[in-house]
C-alpha cells in the first residue's frame, strides 16, 4: 500500500490546481497540529500556459509587459513557493506532493534532494544523464559545460511544520518558446530543454506520468 494517494488532475488551469493543493495542504497541516493522521497526496497535472513567480523572485525576470501576457492567453501568478519565475504549460508534467515529511523522517533539504533523485532516475530510463547543479535547485543536463547547461525540471516548494506544497515541473513535450518570455528561474546564462528536444521526437506523455508515479512510490515508500 502506498504511503500517499495519487491524483491525476489532467489539464487544468493554474488557479484551480492551486485551490486543490492548498485545500489538501491545509487539511494535512490541520490534522498534524491536532495530533491526527492526515493523508499524504501526490497531484500530477498539465497546466494551461501560465507563468508563476516565487516569493523570492524578481519581476524583472519577466521580459515582456504583463498586459501582453493576457493578449497571448498566458496567466501570471505570484505564489508562495520558493524559487524565481518559471513557465507551466501543455506537455509538461507539473507535480504537487502534499506530504508530511516527518512520515519519511525527512528534512526540507533532504526532501528536495529526493525530488531531484526521482527526476534523475526518470531521465535515466530514457538514457539521459540528469544532474544537480550546486546552488541551483532542479535537474539539469550538462550543468558544468559552458554554454550547454540546460534545465529540464524546475523545483520550488513551500513547507510549514514539515508539510509541503508546490513541487516540480518536468518538461516532456513542452513548447520551449514560452521560456523566451522570462529569465527562467532567474538565470540569464543557462537554457531549458525537454525530453522531446533531447530525444528528437515527441514522447508518450501518459507513459511518462506512469513511470514518474512509480518512482515516487519507490522513493517515498
Predicted local confidence at residue 57, as pLDDT = 85
The structural domain count of the chain equals 1
pLDDT, tens digit, 9 for 90 and up, residues 32-46: 989 888 999 999 999
Any domain includes 175: yes
Q: Are 181 and 64 in contact (CB under 8 A)?
A: yes
| DSSP class of 200 | T
Catalytic hit among 115, 152, 185, 192: 185
Binding-site residues sit at 81-88, 154-156, 167-169
Q: What is the mean pLDDT of the chain?
A: 94
Cβ atoms of 184 and 153 closer than 8 Å? no
Q: Can 45 be counted among the known catalytic residues?
A: no
Domain membership flag for residue 3: no
State whether residue 62 is helix, strand or coil: strand
The whole-number average pLDDT for the span 111-123 is 98
- Report the C-alpha dihedral over residues 165, 170, 171, 176, rounded to 10 degrees: 40
3-state secondary structure of 181: helix
Taking the alpha carbons at both ends of the chain, their separation in whole angstroms is: 9
**Domain of 57, in residue numbers:** 8-219
**In this structure, is residue 203 part of a structural domain?**
yes
Instruction: Give 135-171 pLDDT, tens digit per residue.
Output: 899 999 999 998 999 999 999 999 999 999 999 999 9
Q: How far apart are CA 91 and CA 108, in angstroms?
A: 28
Report how far residue 107's alpha carbon sits from residue 51's, in angstroms, rounded to the nearest whole number: 28
Bridge partners of 126, per DSSP, are none
Residue set of the binding site for substrate = 81-88, 154-156, 167-169
Q: Tell me the per-residue pLDDT of 86-101, one tens digit each, with 9 for 90 and over.
A: 999 999 999 999 999 9
pLDDT tens digits, one per residue of 161-208 = 999 999 999 999 999 999 999 887 777 778 999 999 999 999 999 999
Conformation bin of residue 132: beta by default, left when phi > 0, alpha when psi is -120 to 50: beta
63: in domain = yes
Read off the CATH number of the domain in which 56 is found.
Answer: 3.30.930.10
Residue 5 pLDDT level (bands cut at 50, 70, 90): very high
* Residue 122 resides in a domain: yes
Q: Hey, is 159 helix, strand or coil?
A: strand
Amino acid at each position: 500500500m502506498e504511503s500517499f494517494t495519487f491524483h491525476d488532475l489532467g489539464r487544468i488551469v493554474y488557479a484551480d490546481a492551486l485551490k486543490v493543493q492548498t485545500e489538501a495542504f491545509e487539511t494535512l497541516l490541520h490534522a498534524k497540529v491536532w495530533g491526527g493522521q492526515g493523508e499524504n497526496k501526490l497531484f500530477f497535472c498539465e497546466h494551461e500556459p501560465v507563468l508563476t513567480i516565487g516569493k523570492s523572485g524578481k519581476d524583472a525576470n519577466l521580459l515582456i509587459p504583463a498586459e501582453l501576457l493576457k493578449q497571448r492567453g498566458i496567466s501570471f501568478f505570484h505564489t508562495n513557493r520558493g524559487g524565481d519565475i518559471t513557465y507551466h504549460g501543455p506537455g509538461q508534467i507539473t507535480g504537487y506532493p502534499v506530504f508530511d515529511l516527518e512520515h519519511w523522517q525527512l528534512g526540507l533539504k533532504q526532501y528536495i534532494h529526493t525530488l531531484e533523485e526521482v527526476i534523475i532516475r526518470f531521465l535515466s530510463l530514457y538514457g539521459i544523464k540528469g544532474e544537480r547543479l550546486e546552488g541551483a535547485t532542479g535537474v539539469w543536463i550538462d550543468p558544468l559545460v559552458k554554454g550547454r547547461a540546460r534545465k529540464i525540471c524546475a523545483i520550488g516548494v513551500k513547507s510549514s511544520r514539515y508539510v509541503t506544497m508546490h513541487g516540480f515541473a518536468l518538461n516532456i513535450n513542452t513548447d520551449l518558446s514560452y521560456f523566451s518570455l522570462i529569465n527562467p528561474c532567474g538565470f540569464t546564462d543557462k537554457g531549458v530543454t525537454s525530453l522531446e528536444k533531447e530525444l528528437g521526437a515527441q514522447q508518450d506523455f501518459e507513459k511518462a506520468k506512469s513511470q514518474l508515479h512509480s518512482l515516487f512510490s519507490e522513493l517515498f515508500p
